[in-house]
Amino acid sequence: MAKLTNLPTELLEQIYHSLGSIDDVLHLGRACKATHNVLDNDKTWLEIMRSVIYRSPAHRFDVQLCKILELHRDLVQHFKSGGAALPVSRLQKCILDQSYLNDNVPIEAAISDEDVYDILARWQGLRVLQDIFLTRELEAEDYLSVVPEGDADDFIQDFTDLLNGDADTPKQPPFRASSATKEYRTLNADQTARFHAAITSLWVLSEIRWVLALFQTPSNFLLPLLILRKCKEHIERQTHIPLLDELDRLSIHKFLYHHLLPLHSRALTDQTSSELPLTFPSDLQESHNHGARLLQTFLLAGQTYLQPPDIIELAVRNKLMLRRPYPMMHPPPSTHQYWHPFNPSHITYPQNHPLVPAAGAPIPFRNALLANINIVMRGLVPLRDLQDEWLRERVLGQFYVRARRDRKDIEGSFKRPWKKEVRWGIWWWANSEEKARAKMERWRRV
């Protein structure tokens, strides 16, 4: 009887090329000496990984993410070397004309050797978020979102409850709040692929928003809005399973920016105003309305400036700050420069500004950003989580494509079960497009 180990090397290579994920390649390589020897050749190993990455649904956003991250590094280097503010007229050349969003690129041109290594590191590194996610079941009070009509006292109390709730949770993982979710302990291969694809798709969108924030934009914002719309259309084209992918993205957005970011924001508190909007006062009760507005601005700005690796870094720093001798673990200046590298000008703040270390001291800042934050602090404009609204609209829009027309509106039926029951457990109860649609149809009958 023929054995796998008796096959010639060429056939074993073809088997590797047909595997569905990076983990499958690594697992088969560890199976025996014969399969391991196939991966010993660096060129063969790279070609196998390139082929698997190119075909795997889990990595359908990774190639574009590599290119956008390259643009991120170029922009940081531009400002680090003393470059001037970039005019909005260069946006189209920087993004649309450089194949950053081009899906129809040959595999050899699309994924360089360096990109393969980056994607492999990203595949392993983002597992940290998966491990954090599986540590405990998240409930409604574990999320903090910006609500336009919300009260400052209620928002501060919700933030305090979030921090205290995490401290009170049993430390022996995994913690599950109900018997219905006690078996939700691991993610299988398909669920892991969905988790990774949802993170990288949001990462691509956040990177585009970050790039747009660095250009001098005219008052009408037409070109940036056009580019952002094209980026959203690109993500829609890459959607693998319409409703399920949109639910996954909404769940990951909630996990990253409504749970992890506020929970581990302590490392960014009480910094100078040059770090705004990525800081806020730690004593929110003392600063009250100002503190609540700064925290809300921080949470919304974090969706643009803080990417998944930054969230992981904040989580690590926050954990260290909670241990003796309770050190302050602010990110270094190089990290802040990577977040917002624009060369600032020097301006003077009013004496009563809550983050000014000395009255009238010159503090580096961007004039346009100062004006915007001043408007926000005075409450002249409502703060809205537009990305959360867009993701929610995408979910409802995909559901309506094949929804039954003889039942009540899903929009009114979606909020409660999503918030109370299924937001955290989506990776298990929605294992397919059909199950997700059936679940949402049942909500309409309640």
pLDDT tens per residue across span 9-44: 899 999 999 999 999 999 999 998 989 999 998 999
The residue among 334 and 103 whose pLDDT is bigger is 334
Q: What is the pLDDT of residue 375?
A: 52
Interval 200-227 mean pLDDT: 78
The pLDDT > 70 percentage for the chain reads 75
Which residue type does 134 have?
Answer: L
Distance CA 424, CA 422 (A): 6
Structure tokens at 445: 């009958």
Picking from 33-37, 81-85, 165-169, which range would have the lowest pLDDT averaged per residue? 165-169
Confidence of residue 169 (pLDDT cuts 50, 70, 90): low
Q: pLDDT-derived band of residue 271, with 50, 70 and 90 as boundaries?
A: confident
Beta strands in 320-423 (DSSP E): 345-348, 362-365
Between CA 155 and CA 147 the distance in angstroms is 9
pLDDT, position 71: 84
Q: Check residue 186 and report its DSSP letter.
A: -
| HEC-encoded secondary structure of 328-358 | CCCCCHHHHHHHCCCCCEEEECCCCCCCCCC
Residues 61/201, Cβ–Cβ less than 8 Å: yes
> What span, in angstroms and rounded, lies between the C-alpha atoms of 107 and 249?
26
Q: Is the pLDDT of residue 360 over 60?
A: no
Q: Check pLDDT > 60 for residue 403.
A: yes
pLDDT tens digits along 274-329: 788 888 988 887 776 788 888 999 999 999 999 999 999 999 999 888 888 878 88
What pLDDT is stored for residue 129 in this prediction? 96
Q: Which of 86-90, 229-233, 243-247, 387-391 has the lowest mean pLDDT?
A: 86-90
Compute the distance between CA of residue 115 and CA of residue 109 in angstroms, rounded to an integer.
11
What is the rounded average pLDDT for all residues in the chain? 80
* Rounded average pLDDT over 244-250: 92
Enumerate the domain spans of the chain.
7-55, 121-171+184-343+368-402
Lowest-pLDDT choice from 15-24, 57-66, 101-110, 259-268: 101-110
- C-alpha closest to that of 354 among 430, 283, 416, 419: 283
Residue 352: per-residue pLDDT: 42
Task: State the pLDDT at residue 347.
Answer: 32
Tell me the mean pLDDT in the region 188-199: 95
Residue 188: pLDDT over 70:
yes
With a cut of 60, say whether residue 365 has pLDDT above it: no
pLDDT at position 181 is: 75
| Least confident window among 26-30, 49-53, 168-172 | 168-172
* Residue 144 pLDDT: 93
Q: What is the pLDDT of residue 444?
A: 75
* Predicted pLDDT at 288: 66
